[in-house]
Amino acid sequence: MKKILGLALLALVGCKTTSKVIDPIPPQLETVYEVSEANVAETLKYLSSDELEGRDSGSKGIEKAAVYLENQLKQNGIKPYFSSYRDTLTNYKTISYNVVGYIEGNDKKLKNEVVILGAHYDHIGITPEAKGEDKINNGANDNASGTTVLSEIAKYLGTFKTNKRSVLIVYFSAEEKGLLGSYHLAKKLKEKGVNVYTLLNFEMLGVPMNYDYDMFITGYDFSNMATKLNEYAESTLVGKSEMAEKYNLFKASDNYPFYEQFGIPSHTISAFDFSNFNYYHHPKDEFQEMDTQFMTKLANKMLPVVTKMINADTQEIKMNNQEVKK
């Protein structure tokens, strides 16, 4: 998550808060599919390992993360959206790129509409002046966790290809530099005239919250996304967070540039509410602090949710009339 004034301190003090479709895969296979905790742990562990040096945009460390994510997309039958998986940023001094995969929709009409699923894979790198021996900000929660959960959803979508609308899997870069990867891509897609229906962004999902819902959604009142996600989940999957509203976290992650460019429902789901994790932007944001069981549960819950979102007959996720806070 991008740093917002006052938030880092807050984290430290621990504040409370209808065409015919031929399905190529027998449906029984699809319904028994389950994300495994071992796979979640494997991806998370690699992305947050010291070898990747905190995945600072433009660094050698993040290059390794990009190669890993590209290979994973390829292995799961997901094609590059552009000429390669790499979408090079035009708004950052050091060469950085979003990693973008594409799963074409299987419905003749709906495939012209795009659903974007995103997570930023960059973090803040090394802090030489950090106290203690460990100087590497591994960013396990921020945001190897969201990247990992999304990667499991991508594997599922890439394998079964049950999606009627087309899907972009986007691993954003330079989020920590001010949402640069998402500003770049949102503008590019707008210029290309891409018909984006909605966007869902995954942020900081490595540690559970103590509420009666699993995640909060940013900009809760701006659209009916929360209502729809809960309907699709048949449970209270997402809720409204006072902290997220107070600090307008709607504007603090990669969903925001897409709202700005397209005026579409574009939100972030997260389980970091500033009370349940003490190592925000800290070298101790490490693999050992993450709850991979929780992450696996989330990934499994999200499979039918994203499927229903992508396959809905109409664009039923809509903006509310309420004005978005600037």
Distance of CA 118 to the CA centre of its chain: 4
Part in contact with Zn ion (CB under 5 A); list of ranges 50-58, 140-148, 166-174, 178-186: 140-148
Partners of residue 198 on adjacent β-strands? 115
Give 4 or 25: the residue with its C-beta nearer to Zn ion: 4
Length of the chain: 326
Select the span of 141-149, 155-163, 185-193, 248-256 touching Zn ion (CB under 5 A). 141-149
Q: Is 180 in the site for Zn ion (CB under 5 A)?
A: no
In the complex, minimum distance from the CB of residue 281 to Zn ion, in angstroms, rounded to a whole number: 6
- Residue 238's identity, in one-letter code, is V
Give min distance, CB of 4 to Zn ion, in A: 10
- Check residue 11 for interaction with Zn ion (CB under 5 A): no
The nearer residue to Zn ion, 70 or 203, going by C-beta atoms, is 203
Q: What are phi and psi for residue 192, nearest 5 degrees?
A: -75, -10
d(CA 162, CA 164): 6
CB of 283 to Zn ion, least distance (A): 13
For Zn ion, the closer CB: 142 or 260: 142
Output DSSP code: residue 280.
T
Nearest approach in angstroms of CB 273 to Zn ion is: 14
The piece of 108-116, 136-144, 217-225, 289-297 that touches Zn ion (CB under 5 A) is 136-144
CB of 196 to Zn ion, least distance (A): 24
Q: Based on CB atoms, which residue is closest to Zn ion, 142 or 152? A: 142
Stretch that binds Zn ion, among 62-70, 88-96, 138-146, 214-222 (CB under 5 A): 138-146
* Helix (H) / strand (E) containing 262: helix 256-262
- DSSP H or E segment with residue 114: strand 114-120
What DSSP line would sit under 163-204, residue for residue?
Answer: -SSEEEEEEES-STTTSHHHHHHHHHHHHHT--EEEEEEEE-
By CB under 5 A, is residue 142 in contact with Zn ion? Answer: yes
Does position 1 bind Zn ion by CB under 5 A? yes
Q: Which residues contact 211 (CB under 8 A, 6 or more apart)?
A: 239, 273
Nearer to Zn ion, 121 or 232 (CB): 121
Q: Is 249 in the site for Zn ion (CB under 5 A)?
A: no
Query: Distance (Å, rounded) from C-alpha 251 to C-alpha 93?
Result: 23
Nearest to 312 by CA among 23, 18, 112: 18
Q: Looking at 101-109, 137-145, 147-155, 262-270, which segment touches Zn ion (CB under 5 A)?
A: 137-145
**Which of 161, 160, 163, 189 has the alpha carbon at shortest distance from 111?**
163
- Positions touching Zn ion (CB under 5 A) are 1, 142
